[in-house]
Amino acid sequence: MLAARASAARSASRIARNTRKFATVVDSAGVKVAAADNGEPTTAVTFLVKAGSRYEPKPGVAHALKNYAFKSTEKRSFLGTVREAELYGGVLSSSLSREYLALTAEFLRGDEAFFVDVLSSFLTSAKFTRYELTETVGPVCEAETTAALHDPATHALELAHTIAFRRGLGNSIFAAPGHHVSADDVKAYAHSVFGAGNVAVLGTGIDAGVLEKLLEKSLGKFPSAAAPSSTPSAYFGGETRIDAHHGPQTVFVGFGTAGAPAPELAVLASHLDPTPSVKWSQGTSPIAASVPAGTFVRPVLLPYSDASLFGLLVQGRTSADVKTAAKAAVEALKAASSLKGEELQKAVAKAKFSAASAFDVRDGLISTLGPKILYGSSTSSSDAVSALDKVDASAYSKATSSLIKSKPTFVTVGDINSLPYADELGL
């Protein structure tokens, strides 16, 4: 009886998952909207803008634009926005990637009119004052950059992008310390990207029709904007070493591809991921058993609209442990290109679970659905999973072999006198 109930529950869950789709519409202002209401007690609305660092005309402008979010507009002062949001019990946040600026409001149901207007007013009437740049935006940018440079993992990934792609996707999402960006620079960049065609809106806990009407009211006659220009992505690769005396010893071994992200790379990442499915288990990753205690290896897959960066981030207390773990990781990566049979089946299943579960959390929705909404692609979880269902041994072997044959992107952060070079790991 219990087994029958469990089976019925799983069937109901599958049906619910398959029917949980995002309604995609285009409102009169030309903004793409996707929303789903599954009875959540709270609502979240995110504005996604093609304003990432790959599009910035001057280094650091995108980072400053991100930190100008929710400052003074024609409708509200910075202080007024903060106080009103607190009275409603809502949370406002902004984040930046290489391709998108995300502005998010999370709040109780029923307060959507106020928060959608707050988000919209930044796109339509932000003031970009000099005193806010001097007193708030600039110091926050500097603090975030300093924190990033003191985190070996973040620092390594930023360097990896520069080596892998040079310009465009190689642009850092952090402003360089002491780099001068003026309020006029930020204002000009915002005016060039804030417009119909460059904005998509994602909502959860809100009906698509309701959200569309609120946007029509708050955005009004939203002007159109040309798509931002960027250097088409091309992969180069290379090696760099940064001497650092804080945090764990760090090595990043990566490879890149140009073109649309391939589902085979998600399968490869799942196969190499040492995170076990059961507590205290070593998991199925070929890396786990070869990693010294206190040393960590995690796969990194960063897909973009026209390229992908895949790699293995290795961190540990000592250079010797990191070298041992990195060598094992490289050997496992090379062996993974011949994956087939049950091993491939397990990796595909794990990748499918990760893809489907991303639709269950708001951060996952933004990173997963954001590009799809902007480019008008399907927004259902079943479509995301079906692409992985099509991965067979032949396609997987071809994609992974081609990846590994390319020039590696190799970054070390730490004691560069003892950390390994790429050729010492068999690269």
At residue 203, the 3 state secondary structure works out as: strand
- pLDDT tens digits, 33-69: 888 888 889 999 999 999 999 999 999 999 999 999 9
* 8 Å CB contact between 177 and 146: yes
Band (165; pLDDT cuts 50, 70, 90)? very high
Which H or E run includes 405?
A: helix 393-405
Q: How far is CA 219 from the centre of its chain?
A: 26
Identify the CATH homologous superfamily for domain 21-220.
Answer: Metalloenzyme, LuxS/M16 peptidase-like (3.30.830.10)
Alpha carbon 359 to chain centroid distance?
Answer: 14
- Residue pLDDT, tens place only, 280-311: 666 678 887 788 888 999 999 999 989 999 99
Give percent above pLDDT 70 in the chain: 90
What's the CA gap between 399 and 257, in Å, rounded?
A: 10
The yes-or-no verdict on residue 16 having pLDDT over 50 is no
For the sheet with 409-414, list strands across it: 238-243, 409-414, 249-258, 307-316, 296-303
Is pTM, for the whole model, over 0.75?
A: yes
User: CB within 8 A of 212, min separation 6: which ones?
Assistant: 25, 27, 33
pLDDT the model gives residue 29: 63
Over residues 228-249, the pLDDT tens digits come to 988 899 999 999 999 999 899 9
Burial of 20 (0-12, 13-18, 19+ CB in 10 A): middle
380 and 368 Cβ atoms separated by less than 8 Å = no
Residue 257 — very low, low, confident or very high, per pLDDT cuts 50/70/90?
very high
Helices (H), 53-137: 61-68, 78-88, 112-125, 130-132
* Structural tokens at position 294: 């206190």
Which overall architecture, per CATH, does domain 238-425 show?
A: 2-Layer Sandwich (3.30)
Which residues make up the CATH 3.30.830.10 domain(s) of the chain?
Answer: 21-220, 238-425
Could you give the angle at which helices 341-357 and 393-405 cross, rounded to 10 degrees? 80
Mean residue pLDDT of the chain comes to 89
User: Is residue 164 within 8 Å of residue 236, measured between CB atoms?
Assistant: yes
Q: Which pLDDT value is given to residue 109?
A: 94
